[in-house]
Chain A
Amino acid sequence: PAPAEAGRAPGPPDGGWGWVVLFGAFVSIGFAYAFPKGLAIFFKEIQDFFGTSYSEIAWISSIMLATTYGAGPISSILVNRYGSRPVVMFGGLLCGVGMISASFCTSILQLYICVGFITGFGLALNLQPSVIIIGKYFLKRRPLANGLAMAGSPVMLCTLAPLNQFLFDNFGWRGSFLILGAILLNCCVAGALFRPIGAGTALVKTQVAEEEKDALKGKITEGGPMENKTEEEGGKDCFEKVNQYLDFSLFKHRGFLIYLIGNVLMFLGFFAPIVFLAPYAKHTGIDEYSAAFLLSILAIVDMVARPATGVIANSRWVRPRIQYFFSFAIAFNGACHLLCPLASSYTGLVVYSSFFGLAFGMVCAMLFETLMDLVGAARFTSAVGLVTIAECCTILLGPPIGGILIDTFGDYKYMFIKCGAVMVLAGTFLFIMNYYNYRMLAKEEKERKTKEEDPKSVKTENEGKKNWNKDSTQDGPELEPLREEGEGVKKEMNGT
C-alpha cells in the first residue's frame, strides 16, 4: 500500500490496494455484462403475463444494451469530473432502484423504462469507471489486470444464470426483480473499494524528476502546479470546456481512430453467433439441454481464456506488440465462425464452442487494454466513452442483421459467414493499420529524440481528470524545464 502522501509515487502502484480494486472491478464489470444476458430467463414468463409478442420483450434487452453502451460518454464525463468511486456507487444505486421499481411494474412500457433505461444507465455508470480505474492502478501488470477484471463477465453469467432460475422458481418474476435489485446494490460495495488515486496537487518539481526516472514506460507524470495554472487561466470558451470533460481531440489521434474503426467493424459480427448458437444447434436437431450446454462450454472456456490472455499479453514478448495480438485474436474469432458451417455433428459444435469461447475471451480481455495502450490512461476516460457510443450502433445491429440473413436464406451458415468475414476483415484492417501506426510512432520518437522539440501533444499521466493537449501548447514555457530534466520522455506506445 502507498506510503505517506507526500512521498507517494503518482505512478500506478501495480499491486497492493490495486488487487482489491481489481476485485471490485471484477464484480462491477461482471454485473454490467452478465446481467442483461441473465435476464433472458424471465422473458417467457413476462411475455405471457403481459400478453405481448416476443419482439416486444426483446426490446427490453435491446434498450438495456443500448443504454449501457450509449451512456458511455456521460459516464466518461462524470468520471472526468468526479472520479470513479462516486460514479460507480451512484450507478449501483441506480441499478438497484431500477430493478426494485421494475418489480412493481404493471405494463411493458414501464418495464422498458425501469429495466431498460434506468438499470441500463446504472450499468453504464458501473462499466466505464471500473475499466478506467484499472488503468489508474496498474501499469506494468495492466494487461493481466484487464484480463482478470474482464473475466468477471463469464463468472458472473455462470453465477447469475442458475441463481436467476432459482429465484424465478421460488419467487416468480416480481419477487426475483426485487431481490435482483438488492443484489445489484452490491455494485455500490464494489464502488466503495475504488479508492481515488492520482497525482496530488502538492507535488514538487524535484519529485517529478525522480518520478520520471522511475516511470516504467516513460510516461510523464506532471504535477499539480500545472493543473492549478490551467485552472486559473480560465477564460475558457465552450469548446474548451467540453473538451475538458470529454476529450474530442481524440478524433485527431491516429491510434484512437484506428481502434475506433476496427472495433466498430468488429462488433457487427461479434455478438450475433452467441445469440444464435443455441437456436442453430436446435436447428441441426440437437436437444435443448445439449444446446444450452454448448453455451456453458463457451462460458467456461471464456472464463479461463481471459486471465490467460491477460498473462500472455503482459509478457515481455507480446506487450510491445499487443495491437498485433489483438488483431490476431479478432481474425482468429472470424476464422472460427467461417469454419462453423463445416461442423455438422454435435462434437463438431462442441469443438466450435470451445474455440469460440477461447477467441471471444481473448478479444474481450484485450478490448480495453489495447485502447489504454493507444491513448494512455489520462485520455482513456474520454476515449472509452466515445468508443462505446460508436460501438453501440453496430452492437445493436449485429444480431438483427444476422436474424434477417437467417430468415431470408433459411440457413444459419450465411450468418456465420457474414460474422466471420466481418471479423477477419476487422482483424486484418487493425493489423495493417497498427503496423503503420507503430512505424509512424517509431519515426516520431526518433525525430523527437534527435531534435528535442516540443512535441505537439504532450501525453500526461494525470490521474486528475483534466485533459491537457489543448492547453499544453499555451503552457510551453512552464513545461520546458521539466522536459529538460526528463530525457526519457516517450510516447506511451513505445515498447520497452
Chain B
Amino acid sequence: LLTDVSGTALEKNITLASPTKVELTCKLDENSNLKNPQVTWKRGSETISHTSKTPNSWTIQLTISESSQLGSYICILKGEIEVSATFHLQVPKIDGKEKRIITYEADRAVMVCKTEYDPKAWTWYMTNGTELVPINKILPTDKFQIKRQSGNVNRLEILKLTQEDRGVYWCEAAFELGSSKGRFELKVLSITAPLKPFIAIVAEVAILVTTIVLYEVYSKKKEKGAAKEFDQIEQL
C-alpha cells in the first residue's frame, strides 16, 4: 500500500490507524556514489528479509495487525559508505495545545482534540494528583459535556468553571493499533486579573484627555489676552 523513496539518510513518518499491509521501499538515486550496496532491513535488532528487489530498490512487505508491530524500520545500504533511511510506523497523533488555555471563573472551557483518522473510541481524563481520572457519564452533565463534532474531532466542554478545575487534562484516542494522547493545561483566572491593566489604561486615557483639554483652554486664554492687547494697540 505504501512506498517510499529515499536517497540519503532520511526519516519518514507513516501513520496507521487500522491494520493494513505496508510496503516500504528504499530506492537508490542513480547519481549516488554508492554502487551495488549490501542492503539489510532491520527493526531494532531483528533483520527482515527482502520481499522484492530491483537493481536500485529494495522492498519489504509487512502486515501490521497489532501495536507491537509498530515502530521504526530501517534500511541500511552498505558499500564504500553506509547510508540508512528510517520509516516510523505510528498511530495517528493528536493535535493538542502546548500552551495553557486561559479561562475565567463562571465561564466555560473548551478543549478540542483532532486526529487524522477516526479512532474507535475517545476518552477524556482529568488529573487528580498523579492519577488519571476518566471523565464519563457518571459526572454531572451540567458540568462536563463531551461532544463528538465529527469522526475525528472530539470536544470537551467544562461549564461553570471554578478554581478547582484548573490543571492538566488528557484526551485519548483509541485506535485498533494503539492509542495516542493529547495534553491540555487549563488555567482559571478570576475576572479581576485583566481588570487591573484595563483600569490602568482607562485611567491613562482619562488623564491624557483631561491634560490636552486643559492645555487647550489655557492656551486659548492666553491668546484671548494677547488679542485683547492687540486690539487695544490697534485702536490706539
Partner of B231, one of A6, A171, A183: A6
Which B residues are CB-close (under 8 A) to A1? 219
- Cβ of A182 and Cβ of B197 under 8 Å apart? yes
**Residue among A1, A2, A51, A181 facing the most chain B CB atoms (10 A cut-off):** A51
User: How many angstroms between the C-alpha atoms of A179 and B224 in the bound complex?
Assistant: 41
Residues A355-371 near B (CB distance < 8 A): none
- Cβ of A172 and Cβ of B102 under 8 Å apart? yes
Whether a CB of chain B sits under 8 angstroms from the CB of A453 is no
- Cβ of A49 and Cβ of B110 under 8 Å apart? yes
Whether a CB of chain A sits under 8 angstroms from the CB of B212 is yes
- Cβ of A174 and Cβ of B223 under 8 Å apart? no
- Cβ of A193 and Cβ of B212 under 8 Å apart? yes
CB within 8 Å for A182 and B201 given contacts A48-B112, A171-B189, A172-B102: yes
CB within 8 Å for A192 and B208 given contacts A5-B227, A171-B189: yes
Whether a CB of chain B sits under 8 angstroms from the CB of A4 is yes
Closest Cβ neighbor of B208 among chain A residues: A189
- Cβ of A172 and Cβ of B198 under 8 Å apart? no
Would you call the interface of chain B mostly helix, strand, loop, or mixed?
A: helix
Whether a CB of chain B sits under 8 angstroms from the CB of A282 is no
Encode B97-135 as 1/0 by CB contact (under 8 A) with A. Answer: 001111110010010100000000000000000000000
Interface size class, chain B = 35 or more
Encode B196-219 as 1/0 by CB contact (under 8 A) with A. Answer: 011101101100110011001001
Whether a CB of chain B sits under 8 angstroms from the CB of A170 is yes
- Cβ of A192 and Cβ of B212 under 8 Å apart? yes
- Cβ of B102 and Cβ of A170 under 8 Å apart? yes
Encode A159-195 as 1/0 by CB contact (under 8 A) with B. Answer: 0000000001111101110110111011011001101
Partner of B213, one of A179, A185, A192: A192
Whether a CB of chain A sits under 8 angstroms from the CB of B5 is no
Encode A1-29 as 1/0 by CB contact (under 8 A) with B. Answer: 11111110000000000000000000000
Which B residues are CB-close (under 8 A) to A185? 201-202, 205
Which A residues are CB-close (under 8 A) to B223? 2-5
- Cβ of B209 and Cβ of A179 under 8 Å apart? no
- Cβ of B110 and Cβ of A192 under 8 Å apart? no
- Cβ of B205 and Cβ of A182 under 8 Å apart? yes
Residues B38-63 near A (CB distance < 8 A): none
User: How many angstroms between the C-alpha atoms of A185 and B209 in the bound complex?
Assistant: 10
User: How many angstroms between the C-alpha atoms of A175 and B100 in the bound complex?
Assistant: 14
User: How many angstroms between the C-alpha atoms of A185 and B201 in the bound complex?
Assistant: 8
User: How many angstroms between the C-alpha atoms of A186 and B193 in the bound complex?
Assistant: 21
Closest Cβ neighbor of B204 among chain A residues: A186
Which B residues are CB-close (under 8 A) to A49? 110
Closest Cβ neighbor of A48 among chain B residues: B112
**Residue among B107, B198, B199, B213 facing the most chain A CB atoms (10 A cut-off):** B198
User: How many angstroms between the C-alpha atoms of A3 and B231 in the bound complex?
Assistant: 13
Count of A-B contacts judged by CB separation below 8 Å = 80
- Cβ of A172 and Cβ of B103 under 8 Å apart? yes
Residues B143-169 near A (CB distance < 8 A): 147, 149, 155
Whether a CB of chain A sits under 8 angstroms from the CB of B10 is no
Which A residues are CB-close (under 8 A) to B102? 168-172, 175
Whether a CB of chain A sits under 8 angstroms from the CB of B140 is no
Which B residues are CB-close (under 8 A) to A6? 227, 230-231
User: How many angstroms between the C-alpha atoms of A181 and B204 in the bound complex?
Assistant: 13
Which B residues are CB-close (under 8 A) to A2? 223
User: How many angstroms between the C-alpha atoms of A175 and B103 in the bound complex?
Assistant: 9
- Cβ of A175 and Cβ of B205 under 8 Å apart? no
- Cβ of B216 and Cβ of A178 under 8 Å apart? no
CB within 8 Å for A195 and B99 given contacts A48-B110, A185-B202: no
Partner of A171, one of B149, B193, B213: B193
Partner of A189, one of B103, B205, B231: B205
- Cβ of A169 and Cβ of B99 under 8 Å apart? yes
Partner of B197, one of A51, A179, A189: A179
Encode B68-108 as 1/0 by CB contact (under 8 A) with A. Answer: 00000000000000000000000000000001111110010
Which B residues are CB-close (under 8 A) to A178? 194-195, 198
Closest Cβ neighbor of A2 among chain B residues: B223
Shortest beta-carbon distance from A84 to chain B in Å: 14
Which B residues are CB-close (under 8 A) to A181? 198
Closest Cβ neighbor of B200 among chain A residues: A182
**Residue among A4, A170, A186 facing the most chain B CB atoms (10 A cut-off):** A4
CB within 8 Å for A188 and B104 given contacts A6-B231, A7-B230, A175-B193: no
Whether a CB of chain A sits under 8 angstroms from the CB of B226 is yes
User: How many angstroms between the C-alpha atoms of A89 and B230 in the bound complex?
Assistant: 34
**Nearest 7 Cβ contacts at the A-B interface:** A172-B102, A175-B194, A4-B227, A182-B201, A192-B212, A189-B208, A185-B205
13 interchain pairs, CB-CB under 8 A: A3-B223, A4-B230, A6-B230, A49-B110, A89-B209, A169-B102, A172-B101, A172-B102, A175-B194, A178-B195, A182-B205, A186-B201, A186-B208
